[in-house]
Chains A and B, each alone.
Chain A
């Protein structure tokens, strides 16, 4: 039962910030990419879970027998949306790099999937793509905290961006080593790879809880 709840957490976790969005409609403009991400994550995770759970029952075509390509797609969109979010924060720190990184990332995606990996590979998602994506997001989060540390004027309460970045940091800090070694685990210790996915799910729930906190805003 708990296992099922955790497995479906990718679907129900985005519903928490979406519910908050229904009661707190006015959000700072820099949270727009996060709003889009939550909606996107809900849709794409529904697709991923439906493919995983109903591929045989509903007799999906061959290319829909594995949901790994959905994770690849999710990773690309997540990086692009959060890069947009960090750019919208207008922190005068590494601003050019933040604009160049998504371009380089898209180039990497094309080169990687044209020459080295198959985007629709049946057996696993691209560990290279996901670990690179979490690595870049981790660097974004660190530069955010570094800027906050060096900033002279602190706001009275923690801004919404702080909670989003903290949620994202938790998610990428936990998942970066997992994605980095995931393919090796799948090959050598399949059972461990499946078990450790629960940790990813828990990090994902925390991520969305903190996004919900960001949408909820400061105490009134």
Chain B
């Protein structure tokens, strides 16, 4: 091998070594990045799980507080009011003069009204109907009760193929519907309200439709971060808990809220929650 061949080989070797060094550097970089990405993904997953657990804890404590208040209202306040009614009924009207008779009658009416209202609040806070008769019946019952005596024409078209698999999820769906209907009654000035549901293999879709003034998705996203938007925040938290989706839209006929809830959540996701229960 002469000197000229040596130099040419040398250059080729230098190029090969540089390519090799560069390739090794690139491979090391790609591996390091992949490792970093995996770490970031696992951290993100952990953060999401923690956030979900916090939301779940908040929702559950709210639910247990509702139950406690409902039971106190029903068992204690309700019992005292019933006892007061019995005592009032024990007064012999025959001994009363005309003025006292009117007062007695008024007192009885007011007491009946209070008992009725306390029972209503207690039932609203408690989810007895939901537990005993299921989600669809609870929604129908709530809608009927809340729109009674109002100008709103309410109707339902619920898919009765839906069977409760997870009672806690049903409570969340029910509370979302309750909150939406309360908001419609408070702010929308609607004359028609329709709730429908459809069940597919993957999800339950509930649609709350009304012909009043409602929310768009943009407004919902904005309001749920505001201090006053506590109800909307609760809706969002429950949606996160259900791993579902909520979508607000409006058309020429009115406003529509679509709630999508997966009906067969992945097993391991449920396991994650079962830890905190």
Contact = CB atoms under 8 A, between A and B. Distances in A.
Interface of A: 145, 148-149, 152-154, 156, 166, 169-170, 173-174, 176-178, 181, 184-185, 188-189, 192, 196, 199
A192 B19 CA distance: 20
A177 B18 CA distance: 9
A111 to B, nearest CB: 28
A197 to B, nearest CB: 13
Given A145-B25, A177-B15, A156 B32 contact: no
Q: Which residue, of A153, A156, A177, A199, has the highest number of chain B Cβ atoms within 10 A?
A: A177
B225 interface: no
B22 A170 contact: yes
Given A145-B26, A189-B7, 19 more contacts: A145-B29, A148-B29, A149-B29, A152-B36, A154-B36, A154-B37, A154-B40, A166-B26, A170-B22, A173-B19, A173-B22, A177-B15, A178-B11, A181-B11, A184-B7, A185-B8, A188-B4, A192-B8, A199-B15
B33 interface: yes
A177 B26 contact: no
Contact of A174 (B7, B19, B33): B19
Interface string B35-55: 011001000000000000000
Given A174-B15, A192-B8, A199-B15, A169 B37 contact: no
Nearest to A169: B22
A198 to B, nearest CB: 13
Summarize A's interface: helix, strand, loop or mixed. Answer: helix
Contacts, number: 44
Contacts of B8: 185, 189, 192
B14 interface: yes
Nearest to A157: B37
Contact of B15 (A154, A156, A178): A178
Given A173-B18, A173-B19, A188-B4, A148 B11 contact: no
Contacts of B18: 173-174, 176-177
Contacts of A192: 8
29 contacts: A145-B25, A145-B26, A145-B29, A148-B29, A148-B33, A149-B29, A149-B32, A152-B36, A153-B40, A154-B33, A154-B36, A154-B37, A154-B40, A156-B37, A169-B22, A169-B26, A173-B18, A174-B18, A174-B19, A176-B18, A177-B11, A178-B15, A181-B11, A184-B7, A188-B4, A188-B7, A189-B4, A189-B8, A196-B11
B19 to A, nearest CB: 6
A146 to B, nearest CB: 9
Contacts of B37: 154, 156
A188 B11 CA distance: 14
Nearest to B34: A154
9 cross-chain pairs, A with B, having the tightest CB-CB distances, nearest first: A154-B36, A177-B14, A173-B22, A173-B18, A154-B37, A154-B33, A177-B15, A181-B11, A192-B8
A185 B12 CA distance: 12
